[in-house]
Amino acid sequence: MRKVLIVGATSAIAEATARLFAGNGDALYLVARNQDRLGAIANDLRVRGAPQVETEAMDANDFSRHRAMIETAIVTLGGLDVALIAHGTLPDQKACEQSFDETLKELQTNCLSILSLLTYLADHFERQGSGTIAVLSSVAGDRGRQSNYVYGTAKAAVNVFLQGLRNRLSRANIQVLTIKPGFVDTPMTAGFQKGLLWAKPEKVAGGIYSAIQRKKDVVYLPWFWRFIMAVINSIPERLFKKMKL
Ligand X SMILES: NC(=O)c1ccc[n+]([C@@H]2O[C@H](COP(=O)([O-])OP(=O)(O)OC[C@H]3O[C@@H](n4cnc5c(N)ncnc54)[C@H](OP(=O)(O)O)[C@@H]3O)[C@@H](O)[C@H]2O)c1
C-beta of residue 176 within 8 angstroms of C-beta of residue 83: no
Minimum Å distance from CB 111 to ligand X?
11
Calpha distance 102→140 (Å, rounded): 19
Q: Which stretch binds ligand X (CB under 6 A): 73-81, 95-103, 117-125, 185-193?
A: 185-193
Between 79 and 144, name the residue whose CB sits nearer to ligand X: 144
CB-nearer residue toward ligand X: 30 or 77: 30
Residues in 117-146 at the binding interface with ligand X, rule: CB under 6 A: 136, 138
Among the listed residues 228, 226, 220, the one whose alpha carbon sits nearest the alpha carbon of residue 245: 228
Whether the Cβ atoms of residue 154 and residue 90 lie closer than 8 Å to each other: no
* List 4, 5, 6, 12, residue binding ligand X (CB under 6 A): 12
Out of 181, 207, 208, 222, point to the residue binding ligand X (CB under 6 A).
Answer: 181
Task: In whole angstroms, give the CA distance from residue 184 to residue 211.
Answer: 17
DSSP 51: S
Check residue 116 for interaction with ligand X (CB under 6 A): no
Q: How far is the CB of 163 from ligand X (least distance, A)?
A: 18
Distance CA 210, CA 97 (A): 38
Closest CA to 73 of 27, 106, 26, 33: 27
What is the DSSP-derived secondary structure letter of residue 57? E
Q: Which of 3, 5, 6, 10 binds ligand X (CB under 6 A)?
A: 10
Q: What is the dihedral of CA 109, 143, 86, 104, to 10 degrees?
A: 0
- C-beta of 43: minimal distance to ligand X in Å? 17
Stretch 38-77: interaction string toward ligand X, x if CB under 6 A: ---------------------xxx----------------
Q: Please identify which of the residues 29, 120, 149, 151 carries the catalytic annotation.
A: 151
Q: Which of 87, 96, 104 has the alpha carbon at shortest distance from 186?
A: 87
213 close to 20: Cβ distance less than 8 angstroms: no
Q: Compute the least distance from the CB of residue 238 to ligand X, in Å.
A: 28
151 flagged as catalytic: yes
Residues in contact with ligand X by CB under 6 A are: 8, 10-13, 32-34, 59-61, 86-89, 109, 136, 138, 181, 183-184, 186-189
Active site residues: 151
